[in-house]
Amino acid sequence: MNPRLPSEQNPGRMAPLARLPVFLALEGKRAVVAGGNAASAWKAELLSAAGAQVDVYADEISDELRALLVEPPRDGIVLHARVWTETDLSGAGIAIGAFEREEDAARFVSAARRAGVPVNVIDKPAFCDFNFGAIVNRSPLVVGISTDGAAPVFAQAIRAKIEAMLPKGFAAWAEAAQRWRVAVKSLPAAARRKFWERFADHAVTHASVAPKKSDFDWLLRGTNGATGSVTLVGAGPGDPELLTLAAVRALQTADVILFDDLVSADVLDFARREARKLLVGKTGFEPSCTQDDINALMVGLAKQGKRVVRLKGGDPLIFGRAAEELEACGAAGIQANIVPGITAAQGAAAALNVPLTGRGHVRRLQYVTGHARDGRLPDDLDWKSLADPACTTAVYMPTRTLAALAERALAAGLDASMPAIAVARATRHDQRILRATVGSIAQELTRMQLPSPVLVMIGNVLVDQSQQAEAAPRAAI
């Protein structure tokens, strides 16, 4: 069989956007606000906070606007106690209107567009060149959230969650980033990237402590040397929501991602868009990249100073050939880390809503591989253990050897009526489930032709599942 060569996978095009998120620089620019109600007062406050010189045109003003004029976020809000005119829009950088009647809104929008000024009419989306989103303010770190006007309450709920995730101290670290940027700019590109990656990790873990010169010095020392790193990352069984936070963080800081065929496209969506993505497919009984080629590629990229993620389906430590890749990194003097993932047996059990052990009657859980290096059933399986009714067995990569495995297990004393379930593409939207017994599972699996990857689970914990229909799409988990 001819070996398979690594192939680079280009990221897909950006999905359609309802709105383009843009952050306007308004420092020192004129902003026109037409109207004096409470809503226009809030918009005037936002514009002032962003550094704009705000001219408010209104012959009547609300209590909220009156209070804002007394205590604005920054100097520069001026009230003109009259209705706006078209000449007031000349030279403005942005225009906001608050109108009850649509004909008044239309006149204001037409005048603004003639003057070349982007315009927003409060609560009238049809008259808006742009929308205001919900804001999380850790300035200079600012997060904007938009639902394109469809669900403002939903946007506020998301804002509340992000507020909880971002400590107030992030503002000080964002300010430090601005101060340090000039000094870091002189570093080589690889060192700059390493500095900012270390900065992000350090800021997250020290958000409650103000950044100091000693922090900068420590971060700078960490950029010395061009050697990169390798991280073995478990992608889980397929559902991207089962990724760990550490896995997401590794994907979003990687320079290069080496991934297998079993990694779902949805998982790759979490990767940094600029990262190179190389398919180093290893598929049973199909053309595959050799392990030596993968090791050489992984080590070579790390020696170039790249941060390499070796992305594997499930958990890299369970039938993932992690030992060989760790050994290759060690021999080359490359730092290697491991981010564990949810293995297929756990994902399948969760999808089936069954435990893998049972107090008092199922005391052990074992994972076994269905084939050896030559593709045949391994000779050294513990058949007595496989026949133990007090054990749940998960068989990985079983498709070609399941009939032989079942025959040997039955000969060792396993009951032919023991429940067995095959789960294809566990946790994914196209998951398929085949329920049978040890005596019939191999024949049924051949008949059903389930797509790979397939996992077979055997044990008394599945007894209730064996009464259900033989094949079903994935249930929500």
- Other CB atoms within a 10 A radius of the CB of residue 176 amount to 19
Kindly report whether the peptide bond that precedes residue 188 is cis, defined as omega within 30 degrees of 0: no
Q: Choose among 426, 271, 281, 436: nearest CA to 347.
A: 426
Residue that is written with structure tokens 């300035």 in the block: 139
Cβ-contact 144, 134 below 8 angstroms = yes
Q: Choose among 412, 397, 403, 407: nearest CA to 455.
A: 397
Contacts of 245 (CB under 8 A, 6+ apart): none
Given 282, 306, 312, 388, the catalytic residue: 282
Cβ-contact 357, 328 below 8 angstroms = no
Cβ-contact 457, 348 below 8 angstroms = yes
Judge whether 282 counts as a catalytic residue: yes
Which residues partner with 365 through β-bridges?
Answer: 392
Spatial separation of the C-alpha atoms in residues 454 and 235, rounded to whole Å: 16
Given 88, 239, 255, 260, the catalytic residue: 260
Q: Is 429 helix (H, G, I), strand (E, B) or coil?
A: coil
Q: Choose among 47, 48, 28, 4: nearest CA to 293.
A: 4
Half-sphere exposure of 291 (CA within 13 A, CB side): 11
Q: Choose among 371, 476, 346: nearest CA to 423.
A: 346
Spatial separation of the C-alpha atoms in residues 181 and 169, rounded to whole Å: 19
Spatial separation of the C-alpha atoms in residues 459 and 256, rounded to whole Å: 41
Spatial separation of the C-alpha atoms in residues 212 and 158, rounded to whole Å: 32
Q: Which residues are catalytic?
A: 260, 282
